[in-house]
Amino acid sequence: MTDRSTTLEARRVLVGISGGIAAYKVCSVISSLAKAGVAVRAVLTQQGQAFIPPLTVATLSRHPAYTDESFWQAAQGRPLHIELGEWAELLVIAPLSANTLGKLAHGLADNLLTNTVLASTCPVLLAPAMNTDMWQQRAVQRNWHQLLQDDRYHSLEPGSGVLACDRIGTGRMAEPEDILIHIHSLLHTRGKRDLVGQHLLISTGSTREFLDPVRFIGNPASGKMGIALAQAALHRGATVTLVHGPLDDSLTARVGGMQAVGVTTAEEMHLAMLTHLPQASWVVMAAAVADVKPATQATTKLAKADLPGALPLAQVPDIVADLAQRRSPHQRLIGFAAQTGDIVAPALDKLQRKGLDAIVANPIDVVGSGFGGDRNQAVLLTRSGDKFAIAPCTKLSLAHQLWDALLRVGF
């Protein structure tokens, strides 16, 4: 299952750059999009040009940049803001200044960027950036919340940290990687929020079962697939609770906007999933949970000579089977099956044996799929007999295709 929405190639993104030192970050976004084959156009406000020259943006986007000077020059055919507004599949404003925010919130248009927004109907992704005191002003917050009442607008809330003014607080523009992930989501969904009202409980990553403080039984699962599922659901309007095993710092930074619960062992994951089960409408068990644990755990590091020649093992909780027993009739339960060889037959057996509504089978013995990478492929199987094969793609794209398929069959 694949279509044009699963790739960035030949998509059309218009980037608006308003005033702020965070404008330098958007250069990376524009460059990455252009390298991926996206047709990128950029509009700079007069204040935006004070931070980034149009020549820089034009070079990175492989297309002349637009400014207010372009807007007011003698018309060559149709008005420029109309042409750009109709051309764009997605409009990204990064950084969004307090000034531009105020104009958009009140429907004002006195430059090329704001006129183009009003002349377009595509989704708009907003990435604000400003000083903490500016962001926290009642007027700015009022404008922000008023603007987000319009379904066209999608937000990347500013983060916290050291700002360019040396203040420590909220106001940092989202990082380029986060902006790119959200762009990919919006190009796939075209701005639909078809998971609004759903609360998704998702597990991801591996668990670790310790023999002593430094040795454990585990597996190579990184958590990337579950995080992609969570991000895709969040971008589609869902409320998300993510229960995750140990993550790299780069992945920990991707769990913004959702409730994230960190665990280490299978028993901890079991407890966390049961704790959050009552609020969930969909439960997705994407974590690679250890099947066994050492029968005993030493409190201090064992010397090499003291390691047992044969390691006695004990069972860990079967989390997904327990969830199937405890869930309410309205809750949907989706499992994952990482397999080698034939991936479908074992997944079908697990689907029936564990009492799941659907299962996602993915190969871990195929180059470019499985644990640790950024790409994957899968076969989705449902209890009602539906079968969807998803070709190799990014894990974020696979996540969106899974949500598409599940919604299509009436989950």
Half-sphere exposure of residue 131: CA atoms within 13 angstroms, side-chain side:
7
CA terminus-to-terminus distance, the chain: 18
Q: Is the separation of the CB atoms in 379 and 208 below 8 Å?
A: no
> Distances in Å between the alpha carbon of 342 and those of 122, 269, 346, 362, 366?
43, 28, 7, 10, 12
Task: Give catalytic status of residue 165 as yes or no.
Answer: yes
Dihedral angle over CA of 133, 136, 141, 143, nearest 10: 0
> Distances in Å between the alpha carbon of 156 and those of 48, 72, 127, 200, 365?
19, 31, 5, 20, 36
| CA 282 – CA 323 distance, rounded (Å) | 11
Contacts of range 296-302, beta carbons closer than 8 Å, 24 or more positions apart? 297/210, 297/211, 297/212, 298/211, 298/212, 298/213, 299/212, 299/213, 300/212, 300/213, 301/212, 301/213, 301/214, 302/211, 302/212, 302/215
Half-sphere exposure of residue 355: CA atoms within 13 angstroms, side-chain side:
13
The one catalytic residue in 27, 122, 165, 393 is 165
Write the CB contacts of 247 (distance below 8 Å, at least 6 apart in sequence).
Answer: 205, 222, 223, 227, 262
Q: Is the separation of the CB atoms in 156 and 179 below 8 Å?
A: yes
Which residues are marked as active site?
165
